[in-house]
Amino acid sequence: MIPMVDLQRQYQQLKPDIDAAVQDVLSQSQFILGLNVAALEKEIAAYHGRAFAIGVASGTDALLLALRACGICPGDEVITTPFTFIATAEVIALLQAVPVFVDIEPDTFNIDPEKIEQKITARTRAIIPVHLFGHPAAMTAVMGLAEKYKLKIIEDCAQAFGAEHHGKKVGAFGDCGCFSFFPSKNLAGYGDGGMIVTDDEQTAKKIRMLRNHGSSVRYHHSLIGYNSRLDEIQAAIIRVKFRYIDSFNASRRANARIYRTLLHKNGMALPTERLGCRHVYHQFTIRSARRDRIMAALQENGIASAVYYPVPLHRQEAFAGGDAAGDRLACAETCAGEVLSLPMFPELSQDEIRIICDVVNHVS
């Protein structure tokens, strides 16, 4: 059996350090906003060359609090991609703002910068580019549009911790960069967690208040906020793993190279890495018209695979009543029918990749 991701392998490697870090939190017994959250915030801000980082309860909350801190109000339009996890657009709708979906590029699966401008209206306030599967979105073009139309940019970096666009880390471009520490993400805890990075002091201040019931002085509440703090035990675990993130990402890239060498193209599209981009392969996602047959063959051989994502967001029941329900976003719709993500994690072995590629290569 080869799984999509095996979290046990990494835990066994790091067990002494992780167990000690958790034990340390239990001994200190400062469970909410303790030393590990503060230290991780400093470390992650520095990694991205950002002035501020604020730990929150999940990647979803990172997006939600970033949108609120950027002043997104009911009725505002926020442009994003339909080919992403629901959370990206869910937070827009939660604020009673309007998600406006723009079609994607067929090779990176990210928002197509050429198609954004035609969807900008007088009510457009922000763009959420998603660095899907670990490949950076077209940030030069997106930042150009932000400048031209005075839009806020909130990067969804949930799948792309450590990815780079022309030498700059994703999350370092927009007004806010949002990360998830969900257990299967490239940098992850053993539960939920998230973080926002920003250079703007006022934005950072507002997010710090929002995550803690709108309060900066205990029992004095300036805003209606949330209970959305990053858990101290998770922060301690993530700090251990953060020391190895560049090496974990390097292992993912090495695994991607092995996949590329062994897979026969056979009408199949392999993941691209655009010039100047550093892909961190949260997923290794192929495209094929024979997707369902490949998936069945893998399953017969005890190999996991997954379709991210089978239904683009403008086709989701949850958005059925919305303005985007009738949109025709051809590339996203085609990709939904053809994508297949193969097992990918740093500890995946060369032998396992060989077995997977043998099965895929034999599907007619």
Ligand X SMILES: *Cc1c(COP(=O)(O)O)cnc(C)c1O
Which residue in this structure is represented by tokens 């695994």?
Answer: 255
Which residue in this structure is represented by tokens 């922060």?
Answer: 235
Site for ligand X contains 173 (CB under 6 A) = no
Closest residue to ligand X, based on beta-carbon distance: 59
Which residue lies nearer to ligand X by CB, 60 or 124?
60
Minimum Å gap between C-beta 130 and ligand X is 5
Q: List CB contacts of 60: < 8 A, sequence separation 6 or more.
A: 87, 90, 91, 180, 194
- Residue choice 130, 163, 195, 294 for contact with ligand X (CB under 6 A): 130
Which residue lies nearer to ligand X by CB, 62 or 286?
62
Which residue lies nearer to ligand X by CB, 187 or 240?
187
Site for ligand X contains 156 (CB under 6 A) = yes
Which residue lies nearer to ligand X by CB, 124 or 180?
180
Q: Which stretch binds ligand X (CB under 6 A): 36-44, 111-119, 152-160, 255-263?
A: 152-160
Query: Site size for ligand X, by CB under 6 A?
Result: 15
Minimum Å gap between C-beta 180 and ligand X is 3
How distant, in Å, are the alpha carbons of 7, 55, 87, 229 from that of 234?
Answer: 15, 10, 21, 11
Which residue lies nearer to ligand X by CB, 263 or 271?
271
Which residue lies nearer to ligand X by CB, 85 or 259?
85
- Residue choice 52, 182, 242, 259 for contact with ligand X (CB under 6 A): 182
Which residue lies nearer to ligand X by CB, 187 or 342?
187
**Amino acid identity, position 351:** D
Minimum Å gap between C-beta 42 and ligand X is 21
Phi, then psi, of 195 in degrees rounded to 5: -155, 150
Strands laid side by side in the 77-80 sheet: 52-56, 194-198, 176-180, 152-156, 124-128, 77-80, 98-101
Minimum Å gap between C-beta 20 and ligand X is 25
DSSP codes of every residue in 117-139? GGG--TTEEEEE-B-GGGPPP-H
Minimum Å gap between C-beta 34 and ligand X is 21
* Structure-token pair, residue 110: 């990210």
- Of 44-103, binders to ligand X (CB under 6 A) are 58-60, 84-85, 87-88
Which residue lies nearer to ligand X by CB, 156 or 175?
156
Angle between helices 35-47 and 232-242 in degrees, nearest 10? 40
Site for ligand X contains 158 (CB under 6 A) = yes
**Amino acid identity, position 78:** V
Phi, then psi, of 142 in degrees rounded to 5: -65, -45
Paired strand residues for 101? 80
Minimum Å gap between C-beta 57 and ligand X is 8
* Cis peptide leading into residue 309 (ω within 30°): yes
Binding site for ligand X (CB under 6 A): 58-60, 84-85, 87-88, 130, 156, 158-159, 180, 182, 192, 194
